[in-house]
Amino acid sequence: MIEPHHPETETGPFAPSGRVRLLVAVVSLGLALLALLVLGCASAPAGPPFRWAPDPPPNRGRVYVYRADPRTSLSTVAIKIDGLEIGRFRDRTYETLELPSGSHRLHAGMRGFAFASWGWNEHVFQLRPGDTVFIEISVRLDDPSASNTPPPRDLEIAGRPEGYGSENVFILQNSRPTAEAALATTTRLSAAD
Protein backbone atom coordinates (compact mmCIF):
# COMPACT_ATOMS: atom_id res chain seq x y z
CA MET A 1 0.00 0.00 0.00
CA ILE A 2 1.27 3.48 -0.92
CA GLU A 3 1.26 6.01 1.89
CA PRO A 4 -0.12 9.48 1.06
CA HIS A 5 2.54 12.19 0.75
CA HIS A 6 2.21 15.13 3.17
CA PRO A 7 4.90 17.79 2.33
CA GLU A 8 3.81 20.02 5.22
CA THR A 9 5.09 17.40 7.68
CA GLU A 10 8.55 17.00 6.09
CA THR A 11 11.59 18.23 7.99
CA GLY A 12 15.22 18.84 7.07
CA PRO A 13 17.02 21.13 4.59
CA PHE A 14 15.01 19.90 1.59
CA ALA A 15 11.58 20.29 3.16
CA PRO A 16 9.52 23.11 1.57
CA SER A 17 10.51 25.62 4.26
CA GLY A 18 14.15 24.41 4.20
CA ARG A 19 14.28 24.79 0.40
CA VAL A 20 13.03 28.36 0.65
CA ARG A 21 15.68 29.22 3.25
CA LEU A 22 18.37 27.55 1.10
CA LEU A 23 17.22 29.46 -2.00
CA VAL A 24 17.21 32.77 -0.08
CA ALA A 25 20.72 32.09 1.24
CA VAL A 26 22.08 31.23 -2.23
CA VAL A 27 20.48 34.30 -3.83
CA SER A 28 21.74 36.55 -1.00
CA LEU A 29 25.28 35.21 -1.38
CA GLY A 30 25.15 35.71 -5.14
CA LEU A 31 23.95 39.30 -4.78
CA ALA A 32 26.62 40.04 -2.18
CA LEU A 33 29.36 38.72 -4.49
CA LEU A 34 27.97 40.70 -7.42
CA ALA A 35 27.92 43.89 -5.31
CA LEU A 36 31.56 43.36 -4.31
CA LEU A 37 32.54 42.84 -7.93
CA VAL A 38 30.73 45.94 -9.16
CA LEU A 39 31.76 48.23 -6.32
CA GLY A 40 35.32 46.96 -6.04
CA CYS A 41 36.30 46.84 -9.70
CA ALA A 42 34.10 49.17 -11.69
CA SER A 43 35.42 52.45 -10.34
CA ALA A 44 37.44 54.63 -12.68
CA PRO A 45 40.98 55.61 -11.73
CA ALA A 46 40.85 58.58 -9.36
CA GLY A 47 44.09 60.36 -10.27
CA PRO A 48 44.41 63.70 -12.05
CA PRO A 49 44.09 63.72 -15.87
CA PHE A 50 47.22 63.52 -18.03
CA ARG A 51 49.57 66.48 -17.94
CA TRP A 52 53.03 66.82 -19.46
CA ALA A 53 55.82 66.97 -16.87
CA PRO A 54 58.75 69.38 -17.23
CA ASP A 55 61.65 68.33 -19.45
CA PRO A 56 64.38 66.58 -17.47
CA PRO A 57 67.61 68.38 -16.56
CA PRO A 58 70.64 67.70 -18.81
CA ASN A 59 72.10 64.96 -16.57
CA ARG A 60 68.86 62.99 -16.17
CA GLY A 61 66.05 61.54 -18.30
CA ARG A 62 62.28 61.20 -18.01
CA VAL A 63 60.17 58.07 -18.49
CA TYR A 64 56.41 57.91 -18.99
CA VAL A 65 54.93 54.50 -18.19
CA TYR A 66 51.31 54.12 -19.24
CA ARG A 67 48.79 51.32 -19.63
CA ALA A 68 46.58 51.19 -22.72
CA ASP A 69 44.68 47.93 -23.20
CA PRO A 70 43.04 47.14 -26.53
CA ARG A 71 40.27 45.30 -24.60
CA THR A 72 38.92 45.88 -21.07
CA SER A 73 40.60 43.86 -18.33
CA LEU A 74 40.02 43.84 -14.57
CA SER A 75 43.65 42.92 -13.91
CA THR A 76 46.08 45.36 -12.35
CA VAL A 77 49.72 45.41 -13.35
CA ALA A 78 52.40 46.06 -10.71
CA ILE A 79 55.31 48.05 -12.19
CA LYS A 80 58.83 48.24 -10.79
CA ILE A 81 61.77 50.13 -12.24
CA ASP A 82 65.19 49.02 -11.02
CA GLY A 83 63.44 47.18 -8.17
CA LEU A 84 61.55 50.29 -6.96
CA GLU A 85 57.75 49.84 -6.84
CA ILE A 86 56.10 52.47 -9.06
CA GLY A 87 52.48 51.38 -8.53
CA ARG A 88 49.62 49.14 -9.64
CA PHE A 89 48.35 50.22 -13.05
CA ARG A 90 44.75 49.80 -14.18
CA ASP A 91 43.82 50.45 -17.78
CA ARG A 92 44.24 54.11 -18.80
CA THR A 93 46.61 55.10 -16.00
CA TYR A 94 50.13 56.54 -16.26
CA GLU A 95 53.07 57.62 -14.16
CA THR A 96 56.16 59.65 -15.01
CA LEU A 97 59.55 59.67 -13.33
CA GLU A 98 62.81 61.49 -13.64
CA LEU A 99 65.72 59.00 -13.58
CA PRO A 100 69.50 59.16 -13.91
CA SER A 101 70.75 58.59 -17.44
CA GLY A 102 71.84 55.04 -18.22
CA SER A 103 70.29 51.57 -18.39
CA HIS A 104 67.12 50.77 -16.45
CA ARG A 105 65.05 47.59 -16.00
CA LEU A 106 61.24 47.73 -15.92
CA HIS A 107 59.40 44.72 -14.47
CA ALA A 108 55.64 44.33 -15.03
CA GLY A 109 53.68 41.65 -13.17
CA MET A 110 49.98 40.86 -13.07
CA ARG A 111 47.54 38.64 -11.23
CA GLY A 112 44.20 38.22 -12.92
CA PHE A 113 40.65 38.33 -11.67
CA ALA A 114 38.23 35.36 -11.46
CA PHE A 115 39.63 33.32 -14.35
CA ALA A 116 43.19 32.79 -13.17
CA SER A 117 45.62 34.66 -15.41
CA TRP A 118 49.12 35.48 -14.28
CA GLY A 119 51.66 37.20 -16.44
CA TRP A 120 54.89 39.11 -16.19
CA ASN A 121 57.41 40.70 -18.50
CA GLU A 122 60.61 42.74 -18.32
CA HIS A 123 62.08 45.45 -20.50
CA VAL A 124 65.50 47.11 -20.38
CA PHE A 125 65.57 50.68 -21.67
CA GLN A 126 68.26 53.32 -22.07
CA LEU A 127 67.91 56.93 -20.96
CA ARG A 128 70.33 59.41 -22.45
CA PRO A 129 70.85 62.74 -20.68
CA GLY A 130 67.86 65.02 -21.36
CA ASP A 131 65.85 62.31 -23.19
CA THR A 132 62.25 61.24 -22.61
CA VAL A 133 61.18 57.60 -23.07
CA PHE A 134 57.58 56.36 -23.47
CA ILE A 135 56.76 52.81 -22.34
CA GLU A 136 53.33 51.31 -22.99
CA ILE A 137 52.08 48.43 -20.85
CA SER A 138 49.12 46.42 -22.12
CA VAL A 139 47.27 43.31 -21.02
CA ARG A 140 46.08 41.10 -23.86
CA LEU A 141 46.11 37.62 -25.33
CA ASP A 142 48.65 38.08 -28.08
CA ASP A 143 51.40 40.40 -29.23
CA PRO A 144 50.47 42.06 -32.53
CA SER A 145 54.13 42.97 -33.20
CA ALA A 146 55.18 39.29 -33.13
CA SER A 147 54.53 37.55 -36.43
CA ASN A 148 55.02 34.08 -34.93
CA THR A 149 52.22 34.42 -32.31
CA PRO A 150 49.23 32.30 -33.30
CA PRO A 151 45.82 34.00 -33.31
CA PRO A 152 43.85 33.27 -30.09
CA ARG A 153 41.47 30.84 -31.83
CA ASP A 154 44.47 28.68 -32.78
CA LEU A 155 45.94 28.43 -29.29
CA GLU A 156 45.96 24.93 -27.84
CA ILE A 157 44.55 24.73 -24.33
CA ALA A 158 44.97 21.48 -22.44
CA GLY A 159 41.68 19.75 -21.68
CA ARG A 160 39.60 21.84 -24.10
CA PRO A 161 39.03 21.38 -27.83
CA GLU A 162 39.15 25.17 -28.42
CA GLY A 163 39.17 28.47 -26.58
CA TYR A 164 41.34 31.38 -25.59
CA GLY A 165 44.64 31.54 -23.72
CA SER A 166 45.40 33.62 -20.65
CA GLU A 167 46.11 37.30 -20.73
CA ASN A 168 49.71 38.41 -20.51
CA VAL A 169 51.60 41.67 -19.99
CA PHE A 170 53.20 43.26 -23.05
CA ILE A 171 55.68 46.13 -23.03
CA LEU A 172 56.34 48.42 -25.99
CA GLN A 173 58.71 51.36 -26.10
CA ASN A 174 56.97 53.96 -28.27
CA SER A 175 57.81 57.25 -29.96
CA ARG A 176 56.33 60.47 -28.60
CA PRO A 177 53.75 60.80 -31.43
CA THR A 178 52.52 57.23 -30.86
CA ALA A 179 52.30 57.74 -27.09
CA GLU A 180 50.53 61.14 -27.17
CA ALA A 181 47.12 59.80 -28.24
CA ALA A 182 47.06 57.09 -25.55
CA LEU A 183 48.42 59.38 -22.82
CA ALA A 184 45.70 61.97 -23.50
CA THR A 185 43.07 59.46 -22.23
CA THR A 186 44.90 58.49 -19.02
CA THR A 187 44.88 59.59 -15.39
CA ARG A 188 47.91 59.71 -13.15
CA LEU A 189 48.59 57.20 -10.38
CA SER A 190 49.87 59.88 -7.99
CA ALA A 191 49.72 63.66 -7.75
CA ALA A 192 53.47 64.08 -7.16
CA ASP A 193 55.69 65.29 -10.02
In tens, the pLDDT along 28-68 reads 766 655 554 444 444 444 689 999 999 999 899 999 999 99
pLDDT for 168: 82
Percent of the chain with pLDDT over 70: 59
Q: Report d(CA 62, CA 184) in Å as an integer.
A: 17
pLDDT at 2: 65
Q: What is the pTM of this model?
A: 0.65
Residue 155: predicted pLDDT:
42
Please, what is the end-to-end C-alpha distance for the chain in angstroms?
Answer: 86
Query: Could you give the CA distance from residue 109 to residue 76 in angstroms, rounded to a whole number?
Result: 8
- Are the beta carbons of 73 and 87 closer than 8 angstroms? no
Q: What is the mean pLDDT of the chain?
A: 76
Instruction: Write the pLDDT tens digit of every residue in 125-171.
Output: 999 999 999 999 998 765 445 544 444 444 443 444 444 455 688 99
- Three-state secondary structure call for residue 39: helix
Highest mean pLDDT among 8-17, 112-121, 171-180, 184-193: 171-180
Q: Where are the alpha helices (DSSP H) in 88-163?
A: none
| Nearest CA-CA partner of 85 in 56, 111, 112, 65 | 65
- Judged by phi (left if over 0) then psi (alpha if -120 to 50, else beta), residue 26 lies in alpha
CA atoms within 13 A on the CB side of 12: 3
